[in-house]
Structure 1
Amino acid sequence: MAQNFLPKRLPNLFLVLALATAIYSAKATNLKETNLSLYFPDILAPGATSSTVIPVAGVASKAQTFTQFGIVFVTDDFITESADPNPLEVGRAQYMYMTAGLDRLNSHVMISIVFTNKEYSGSTLEIQGVSKQFEVVREVSVVAGTGKFRFARGYATFETYSYHVATHAVIRCNVTVQHY
């Protein structure tokens, strides 16, 4: 009797699989792609209230630098659409990163981009992964989003746009995401 059961149910199984594939394909065609170019001005002012980057953990007996293995930084940068001296703020980049490679070349980043202005207000993008901090262009995954970026997936590239060792850096972030 078991031999007859499978052949009779096989056409129904194929019908269910075909229907599931059709539904998934229909949903996948509703994906939108968004490309953004954003700038994160890091203000490095140790001990000052204007600093947007601070070290919060590391080896107590060593200087806290970007290349010290195990150092953790917390950042709250404003985000702009250009590198102009007086740019319009469009959001905040609130993140944590740590030097995670024993060779001091890689950092692990966890970034929340929180939009506060224009069409994406209230939406977020979540970025996470290894950033090869001494490469000219660093690529990291976009793993999630909310609001207009719900179910976002994609990638972000980071480039140092300008840098002054004692006071500031401006990082350009190019984001490509697919979302609903």
Structure 2
Amino acid sequence: MAPKLSLLLLLTMLLCSHSHGVHLKETTMTLYFQDYSAGANATVLPVTGIPGRVWSFFGFGTIFCTDDPITEGLDKNSAQIGRAQGIYVTSALDGSNTHVLISIVFTNEEFSGSTLEIQGTSRQHDAVREVAVVAGTGKFRYARGYATFETVYFDMEISYAIIRCNVTVMHY
């Protein structure tokens, strides 16, 4: 009985996976987050944290809200293609990890109205941080994949960073 049941389950899985005739597409792209963490035009700010402790990227319990412009090139004056909107939570007691919940909201003509949803642990001390792409909307419906983040420029004096985001997703 068990071999017949196993065969039946295998055949059912094969039929279900091919019954719609829809094939996943792979999309890869490189985006640049223009990140300002101080000043009148800050795009990422701490919104709460543990009372009596310094709120910082390395301070456990600090929660940040972000709305970074995303450009197609490294230069902040290159074409804006979207916004990175969401929250970061410094989630490791030693400040080494941040939990990331980011929506990439596209505003450019090609993907306007579409989003990619990024969620997971970002290891702050790593040069390149990898986080899961867990969903998408519009042209990225049912997206899944990964994104890597790398700080390619940082000006401490004005608290400005450029973060390269390489995204690879499978979607319908």
Same fold (TM over 0.5): yes
Does structure 1 conserve the Cα–Cα contact (< 8 Å) formed by 2:147 and 2:165?
yes
Query: 1:40-78: CA deviations, max 9, x gaps?
Result: 0111224x2x11011001123222211100000000011
The range that moved more, 14-23 or 134-143, is 14-23
Distance 1:37 1:28, change over 3 A: farther
Q: For residue 31 of structure 1, what is the aligned residue in structure 2?
A: 24
Return the letter of the residue paired with 2:147. Answer: A
Within the candidate set 105, 116, 119, 2:96 is matched to: 105
Distance 1:42 1:73 in 2: 12
Q: Which residue of structure 2 lines up, in the alignment, with residue 3 of structure 1?
A: none
Q: Is the 8 A contact 1:44 1:166 kept in 2?
A: no
Structure 1, unaligned stretches of length 5 or more?
1-5
CA RMSD of aligned residues (A): 2.1
| Unaligned 5+ runs, structure 2 | none
Partner residue of 1:44? 37
Shift of 1:17: 5.3
Please give the secondary structure, in 1, of the residue aligned with 2:110: helix
1:177 aligns with 2:165: no
AA partner of residue 100 (structure 2):
V
TM-score (norm: length of structure 2): 0.90
Q: 2:151 — aligned with what?
A: 160
Please tell me whether residue 122 in structure 1 is matched to residue 108 in structure 2.
no
Aligned with 1:86: secondary structure?
A: coil
Which of the two has greater helix per residue? 1
CA–CA distance in structure 2, aligned partners of residues 156 and 27 of structure 1: 28
Percentage of matched positions with identical amino acids: 54
Q: Describe the SS at the equivalent of 2:23.
A: coil
Counterpart CA distance in 2 for 1:171 and 1:28 is 38
**What whole-Å deviation, never above 9, does each CA across 1:108-148 have from its counterpart, x for those lacking one?**
00000000112111100000000001100000000000000
Instruction: Report the count of equivalent residues.
Output: 169
Using the TM superposition, name which of 27-36 and 162-171 deviates more: 27-36
Deviating runs (4+, > 4 A) in structure 1?
13-17, 26-29
Retained in 2: the 8 A contact 1:93–1:112?
Answer: yes
SS of residue paired to 2:95: coil
Structure 1 or 2, whichever has the larger Rg, is 1
Q: Aligned to 1:146, which of 137, 162, 165?
A: 137
Question: After alignment, is 167-176 or 58-67 more displaced?
Answer: 58-67
